[in-house]
Amino acid sequence: MTSFELIILTVAGLIAGILAGFLGIGGGTVLVPLLVALGYTPVEAVATSSLSIVITAISGSIQNWRMGYLRLNQVIGIGFPAILTAQIGVFLAELFSSRLLLFLFGCLLLLNVYLVELRKQITTRKKQQEEQQVSESTIFPNQNILFNPVFARILTGGTAGILAGLFGVGGGIIMVPLQILLLGETIKIAIQISLGVIVITAISACAGHAIQGNVLWSQGIILGVGGLLGAQISTRFLPKLSDQTVSLMFRIFLVILSIYIFKQAWIQS
């Protein structure tokens, strides 16, 4: 490993950690494309990203716990099904081509832009209803929780686990909007819960990839140490930001990243 690569990995880990705390994602959306650009295979990038995410998510979750923002019951309820489904994602990562993986990843990012916007519309209707002092159950019955809460948590965690194993992400990229839509959480609470669940999904995915011999331990630890610092920074500032600001940051990030991912998929041989 060259000195230049060491610097790049450290800086990338720092950026991923900041995104983890602000947006409730593991940071793999940044790390996987970077590792591929550095010459590692897609499977190695996915596996190594999972190791880094373990370190980053633990750091951010500890900070949230110290500040009283970590809800352990919700984290466990969503994280348990993710343990099993992460192994399904690891299996699929071995089967899919690099082009297909990148294309599906870009589609996933664009889908989440829509989900966050949909939640914004629902929230606006709720505020209007409160101003008119009309019972929420009269006009918009059960609009906050579209499914049974237990089923919603299983769906959220199970989906996140598959994404963790398949794409090398913590799963927050889908957990945040699903919590908002299915469980009625605010975006900041959804982010804080998501970061805790990512600890579980990343450990499961990393273990699965380690068994396959795909994890690059030195690179993953370097990325994780940088992410540890970044997560500490961002989790301290998240509670001070408005829901509107965080939501806007989340959507802008998804749009920019989806454009980049589709470009990478196009140039794959």
**Model pLDDT, residue 101:** 80
pLDDT over 70 percentage in the chain: 80
**Model pLDDT, residue 141:** 43
Q: How far apart are CA 161 and CA 7, in angstroms?
A: 30
Highest mean pLDDT of the ranges 16-30, 79-93, 241-255: 79-93
pLDDT digits (tens, 9 = 90+) for 133-186: 544 444 444 445 556 888 889 999 999 899 889 888 777 777 877 888 788 787
pLDDT score of 88 more than 90: yes
pLDDT digits (tens, 9 = 90+) for 95-148: 888 788 878 878 877 887 776 666 667 556 655 655 665 444 444 444 455 568
**Model pLDDT, residue 40:** 86
Q: What is the mean pLDDT of residues 229-246?
A: 69
Residue from 255, 67, 71, 86 nearest 167 by CA: 86
DSSP for residue 107: H
**Model pLDDT, residue 140:** 42
Helices 3-23, 217-237: inter-axial angle, 10-degree rounding: 40
pLDDT digits (tens, 9 = 90+) for 27-56: 777 788 778 778 888 889 889 999 988 887
Q: How far apart are CA 133 and CA 87, in angstroms?
A: 48
147 within 8 A of 179, measured Cβ to Cβ: no
Mean pLDDT of the chain: 79
